[in-house]
Structure 1
Amino acid sequence: MKECLLCTKRLADTPSWKSLLGLDQQTIICEDCSKKFQRAEIKEEDTSVLDKVTSLYTYNEAMRDYLHQFKFLQDIALSSVFANELRVHLPKDAVIVPIPMHREKRIVRTFAQVDELLNSAGVPFVHLLEKTGTEVMGEKTKAGRLTMKPLFKLIGPLAIEQKTVILVDDIYTTGTTLRHAATVLKEAGAERVEAVTLIRA
């Protein structure tokens, strides 16, 4: 019998015709844990350089614990917890671009969390951006964020002229990271740049 990835409680195993045919969405956390996450359903249109921002969940205690276990305790299995929700919000006809992790941080963390969220959701993506520094946005004042150098540079040969690009990140705090990324993509010719984040702080 399977156990919840978050609390290790045994999951109820109730076979259905969908599960027998392999069509059922896999349950990996229990109902009690699932209820602790608070949906945000935030959709903002035309926010400065970003044409649209969608955030799926709010940053509450349950989400804080999830992020800590996933990112800092390196529990990569948790990348699949929100796979179904991400899959629904990422259209197949767009260019999906994860916000990259700086190579130094990736060595410490051992994996790029946004890449793994997309892999678990089965969503194809391309790396078009490279992070230029290791700054932490939450540690900067508003004035400091306004005077920052560009956080990203463009990489990769993919032409994005006249295309819709969707940036994906785990958490939206001030929006600075996403706006820096969107600016680079717009300057490279992207017609529209949207963003989908798992969490809104």
Structure 2
Amino acid sequence: MKPIKDITSWQSFFGLEKKKTLCDDCSKRFVRADIKEEGDVLDAVHSLYKYDDAMRDWLHQYKFLQDVALAKVFAKELRQSFSNKETIVPIPIHPERARLRTFSHVETLLEEAKRPYIQLLEKTNTGVMGEKSKQERLEMENLFDLVPGASIQPITYRLVDDIYTTGTTLRQAATVLKQAGAARVEAVTLIRSIQK
């Protein structure tokens, strides 16, 4: 006799039951952070999860081993972090990196979250932030330009990136948008590296 929790449901019988991307035990390894801050050029930032061993493994598998199916893992949480009042702008990767990786990890997260976005920024620097020291990241300049022909309105824009480490990437992107006329620039990141 099967335990009650393993009894087949009508949904599973007719193939309507949704399959999980991760098992419950793996999902429990991710630690919610829900860090919200208000700042200077970047008016507000909300980071959903803490960067730890489990998140490092997920990020490596997703971004560098190109396991695109893992974008589904956080789709619901990411979708719920937006209102319908802002224009969503993903942090871009440099075209050379995109060719090597074969996909834009941030755009794929947004697509799985079913959130429309507009690419207003282009990356000008090919350097990889994850390969730089904290000091090198803080000293980087001119990471982004507006996409040619982009029109920035005096509205709220919400930047989206996978991880917030020093905040340099988001602040520089926010600066470009504000200099072009954005009224407010906020950000959502999936992960937050908590500095010790």
TM-score under structure 1 length normalisation? 0.84
Q: Which runs of 4+ in 1 moved over 6 A?
A: none
User: Aligned partner of 1:161: which letter?
Assistant: Q
Q: Which amino acid in the other structure matches residue 32 of structure 2?
A: R
CA 132–28 in structure 1, closer or farther in 2 if over 3 Å, else same: same
Give the whole-Å Cα distance in 2 for the aligned partners of 1:145 and 1:124.
29
How big is each residue's C-alpha offset from its partner over 1:21-72, in whole Å with a ceiling of 9 and x where there is no partner? x8x9864322101110000010001x12100000000011110110111011
> Which residue identity does 1:64 align to in structure 2?
R
1:37: which partner in 2? 30
Quote the offset at 1:149 in angstroms.
3.0
Structure 2 match to 1:63: 55
1:132 maps onto 2:124 in alignment: yes
Q: Which has the larger radius of gyration?
A: 2
- The count of aligned residue pairs is 184
Instruction: Go from structure 1 to structure 2 and tell me whether the alpha carbon gap of 1:146 and 1:173 turns closer, same or farther (over 3 Å shift).
Output: closer
Amino acid in structure 2 at the alignment position of 1:69: Q
Q: Which has the higher contact order (CA 8 A, sep 6+)?
A: 2
Mapping 1:12-161, distance limit 5 Å? 15=9, 27-45=20-38, 47-138=39-130, 139-142=132-135, 144-155=136-147, 157-161=149-153
Unaligned 5+ residue runs, structure 1? 1-11
1:191 correspondence with 2:193: no
RMSD between aligned alpha carbons? 2.2
1:168 to 157, 160, 163: 160
Q: Which runs of 5+ in 2 are unaligned?
A: 1-5
Whether contact under 8 Å (1:145, 1:176) holds in the other structure is yes
Q: What is the CA-CA distance between 1:150 and the residue it aligns to?
A: 0.7
TM-score using structure 2 length: 0.86
Whole-Å Cα distance in 2 between the matches of residues 77 and 146 of structure 1? 32
Distance 1:127 1:41, change over 3 A: same
Does structure 1 conserve the Cα–Cα contact (< 8 Å) formed by 2:154 and 2:181?
Answer: yes
Identity %: 57
